[in-house]
Amino acid sequence: MSELALSKYRRLVVKVGSSLLVDDTGHLNRSWLQKLADDVADLATAGHEILVVSSGAVAIGSSVLGINKQRARLEDLQAAAAAGQVQLVHAYQECLGLHNIVAAQVLLTPDDTEDRRRFLNARRTLEKLLERSVVPVINENDTVATIEIRYGDNDRLAARIAQLVMADALILLSDVDGLYTADPGSSDAAEHIPVVTSINPETLAMAGETRSAVGTGGMATKVQAASIAMHAGCSTVIASGVIPNPLRALDDGARCTIFHASATPAAARKQWLAGVLEVRGELQLDDGAVKALRDGNSLLPVGVVAVSGNFRRGDVVSLKNVSGIDIGRGLAEYSEEEATRLAGLQSDQIEEALGYRGRAVMVHRDELVLFDND
C-alpha cells in the first residue's frame, strides 16, 4: 500500500472526466463504468462515503442528437446535456444497482454552492443521501447554467462539493496521472510530481494549459480545484482513470499527485467561520445551551434567550452567553425574524410557530465555532 491508501479517508468525492467515460464517437464506456462502480461498492462496504461528480452529459448527448461539439452553440450543448444526462445517470444507476447501491442524481449550478442559503440546502440534501448509503451522482445543471454563470468544468464543481460536504479527499480521475513539471505530451523532460504541500505560482505555471480532446478542464482547473479543496481541509488526488478499477489501483499505489491539506475539514470550516468579518446578528444563549455547545451539540431554539440584528438563513451570527460575552460564531439556520419567533421554544413547537415544518436546530454543530473565552 502506498502513502495514499484510501482507507484513511472517510468521505471521498470522486470526479470522473468525460474522456474516461465516453469514447471519441460519444459512446459510453460501460465496462469501465462498471469497474468504477465495483470500486465504489468496495469502498462503501469498507465504510467510506462516496460522492461521484461525473461529466459526460454533453459528450453523450452530442452523439445522441448528432451535434458537432466543435461547431455547436451554447444552447446546442445545453440541449445535448439534457439528452446525455439521462443516459449518463441511468448507466450509473444500473452499474451501482448491481451492488444494490442506490444512485441519486443531483444537478447544481454555481449559485447552489456559492450562495450560503442555497449551500445549506444542497448540503443537507447530500447529507441525507449519504446517511441512507445512497451514492449521489452530481453534475452541473448544464441546461440552465449560462456562460456567465456556469462552472464550465467539473473539476471546480467537484472541489466545491468536497467543501460543501466536508469531504476529506477529492479524487480527480482523468487521462493524466498527475502534475508534471511541464506538459508531458510535448516535453520529454517533464517530471512527475508525487506530492504538493502548497500551491504557489510555480505550481500554477507547471499546470499550464494541458487539455484533453473530450473533457473540458485541463491541468489548470485541476490545480485550482486542489486549491479550493485544500483550503477546506480536503486533500486532492490527481490520478489516471485510464485503467480498469482506477480507485483500487490508487489504493494499491498507482502513480498520482496528492495535494495534502494541512488541516482537517472540520478545523478548516471552524477557522473560516472564526475569521468571517461580516457578522449579521446575535443569538444570546442560556447557560444550558452554552454547555450543550461545548459538549459538541447543535444549538436548539430552546436555548436561545434573545435574538438581534438583521440576518437571513445562512448568514453568520455571533453567539453570546447570558453575560453578553461573545463565545463563538455560527451559520444561522433561520432568519432573524424566524429565530425571534422560535427563541425559547421546544423543537416540537417549531411547526406551530412557523406554520411549516422547519428545521430542528438554530445553528448546526458543523456550522459553528466556539472561542475559548468563558
Q: Which residues bind ligand GLU (CB under 6 A)?
A: 18, 55-59, 81, 139-140, 142, 153-154, 215-217
Residues 251 and 7: beta-carbon distance below 8 Å: yes
Q: What is the rounded CA–CA span in Å between residue 184 and residue 240?
A: 14
Residues 55 and 154: beta-carbon distance below 8 Å: yes
Task: Taking each helix axis as running N to C, give the angle between helix 219-231 and helix 154-164, from 0 to 180 degrees, rounded to the nearest 10.
Answer: 10
Q: Which is nearer to ligand GLU, 13 or 307 (CB)?
A: 13
State the number of CA atoms in the 13 A half-sphere of 328 facing the CB: 25
Q: What is the rounded CA–CA span in Å between residue 282 and residue 277?
A: 14
CA distances from 220 to 113, 203, 347 (A): 21, 9, 47
Q: What is the rounded CA–CA span in Å between residue 38 and residue 302?
A: 46
Find the shortest distance in angstroms from Cβ 336 to ligand GLU. 37
SS3 174: strand
Find the shortest distance in angstroms from Cβ 56 to ligand GLU. 5
Find the shortest distance in angstroms from Cβ 209 to ligand GLU. 15
Letter string b/e over residues 69-85, b meaning 16 or more CB atoms within 10 A of that residue's CB = beebeeebbbbbbbbbb
Find the shortest distance in angstroms from Cβ 46 to ligand GLU. 28
Find the shortest distance in angstroms from Cβ 365 to ligand GLU. 33
Find the shortest distance in angstroms from Cβ 138 to ligand GLU. 10
